[in-house]
Amino acid sequence: MSRNTELFERACRTIPGGVNSPVRAFRSVGGSPRFITRAQGPYMWDAEDTRYIDYVGSWGPAILGHAHPEVIRAVQEAAVNGLSFGAPTEAEIEIAEAIAARLPSIEKVRLVSSGTEATMSAIRLARGVTGRSKIIKFEGCYHGHADSLLVKAGSGMLTFGNPTSAGVPPEFIKHTLVLDYNKLQAVEAAFQEYGPEIACIIVEPIAGNMNLIKPLPGFLEGLRSLCTQYGALLIFDEVMTGFRAGPQGVQGLTGVTPDITTLAKVIGGGMPVGAFGGRADIMEHIAPIGNVYQAGTLSGNPVAVAAGLITLKLLAEPGFYEHLEAQSAKLANGLAERARAAGITMCTDYVGGMFGIYFRSTIPTTFEEVSTCDLELFKRFFHAMLIKGVYFAPSAYEAGFISAAHDDAVIRQTLDIAEEVFAKL
Ligand code: KE4
């Protein structure tokens, strides 16, 4: 029995599913997850000391590459001064200022410890500011596991959703309307029907949880104008795309300004940091100055903030994002070219440091289209690449992530392996 399998069997005895987050269990691709012992730059090593070129990057945080020496040093230096105080620190001011300096839509920001906390708090804030209850989200977008967001589309176009998880009472999601991503007409119809009751739209401005799906021209602009017209708040969930899709997230790429932005992943550099922020007049509804309660023992944790601060500083190096996107392009285009040469129906897309691989003939723009990808072919591709030392996301519904450490040699090695795999797929 392999060491990974042995560890997985042991893990399953005391951890539900053997993992602390479901996607890690490989259930959608089959097989046994790899237990990682260490990571460096673009690489990770598992319990059998097998090395992988890593394109998951902890689902986004490892944008500099794993164990970047300056990030490790910052964490060590912070840790020796104590791990957590439950009191304000100067570092929290510095990271708040760094986030506000990079995202003009943010005048004030509250730190939390995960993306889920950020979106859960942003929804409560939108409801508190507007005094309204209904929210709109989109099928295929994932915003963490807060009850009111664990909803799949209802049967009809404008029906309210159904829980996607046991333990979520219908009453908790009865105000959540689930619409189709990139379908602006349905949003217009929802506002015509419920406009004065809608507190907010929450959207992944580039979706990364139904593979990589970009907004069609006009979609985000349409959401912005509808929210403005009806007095609802537009929440950009940039937990994944923030400082990943570009230096100012998707709001910087598109010029569409949200009322509230949620962040996590990159801003923690691998440590637990999330955040939600927006205009001062909105954020001042948050306790202790406002009446929307939100709190967290480890919010703004000094060790986690140290990792996030140095990460944001290193991302600001001239040319960082140009290089990152150039590497994404080499990988995505190289994979598509080799698949085509092997007669495999597959296409790819990318933006900034994230990419999508689709086993279908055209790049999908909706959840329905991405659901037509050949999942069996993806599974075979995933495992064939894994065995040869390339670690893609263990799900056809996830985006991939590149780091600054994925240099030309690493990309070339990946493409050479892919060429061998496509030939036998
Ligand atoms: P966390 O609570 O997992 O930190 O963040 C939730 C979240 C919120 N919003 C967006 C856009 C997200 O992508 C996420 C989390 N992303 C997944 C990756 N698809 C995390 C991986 C996992 O669940 O283990």
Interatomic CA distance for residues 85 and 89, integer angstroms: 9
Q: Is 126 exposed, middle or buried (0-12, 13-18, 19+ CB in 10 A)?
A: buried
Q: How far is the CA of 62 from the centre of ligand 1 (A)?
A: 14
Identify which of 213, 239, 395 to mutate to test ligand 1's pocket (most ligand atoms within 8 A of the CB): 239
CATH 3.90.1150.10 fits 3-67+318-424, yes or no: yes
Identify which of 58, 59, 137, 261 to mutate to test ligand 1's pocket (most ligand atoms within 8 A of the CB): 59
Is residue 38 within 8 A of residue 277, CB to CB? The reply is no
Task: Please confirm, yes or no, whether 142 is among the known catalytic residues.
Answer: yes
Q: Which residue type is seen at 201?
A: I
Task: Please confirm, yes or no, whether 265 is among the known catalytic residues.
Answer: yes
Strands (E), 323-416: 347-351, 354-358, 390-391, 400-401
Q: Is 209 in the pocket of ligand 1 (CB under 6 A)?
A: yes
Q: Which residues of the chain have pLDDT under 50?
A: none
**Atom 6 (ligand 1) nearest CA:** 144
Per-residue pLDDT reduced to its tens digit, 129-150: 999 999 999 999 999 999 999 9
Beta strands 162-163 and 151-152 are: antiparallel
Give the model's pLDDT for residue 401.
Answer: 98
Tell me if the pTM is above 0.95: yes
Phi then psi for 301, rounded to 5 degrees?
-50, 125
Give the model's pLDDT for residue 159.
Answer: 63
Is residue 177 within 8 A of residue 152, CB to CB? The reply is no
Q: Is 361 in the pocket of ligand 1 (CB under 6 A)?
A: no
Give the model's pLDDT for residue 162.
Answer: 81
**Atom 18 (ligand 1) nearest CA:** 59
Q: Which pair of structure tokens corresponds to residue 176?
A: 């959540």
- Residue of 265, 321, 379, 397 with catalytic role: 265
Other residues' Cβ atoms within 10 Å of the Cβ of residue 281: 11
3-67+318-424 matches 69-315 in fold: no
Q: Is 204 in the pocket of ligand 1 (CB under 6 A)?
A: yes
Per-residue pLDDT reduced to its tens digit, 326-343: 999 999 999 999 999 999
Q: How far is the CA of 192 from the centre of ligand 1 (A)?
A: 31
Interatomic CA distance for residues 390 and 388, integer angstroms: 6
Give the model's pLDDT for residue 64.
Answer: 98
Out of 3.30.230.70, 3.40.50.720, 3.40.390.10, 3.40.640.10, the CATH code matching 69-315 is 3.40.640.10
Question: In the chain, what are the domain boundaries?
Answer: 3-67+318-424, 69-315
Q: How far is the CA of 319 from the centre of ligand 1 (A)?
A: 27
Per-residue pLDDT reduced to its tens digit, 32-77: 999 999 999 999 999 999 999 999 999 999 999 999 999 999 999 9
- Residue of 52, 134, 214, 237 with catalytic role: 237
CA distances from 270 to 174, 304, 305 (A): 35, 8, 10
Give the model's pLDDT for residue 152.
Answer: 85
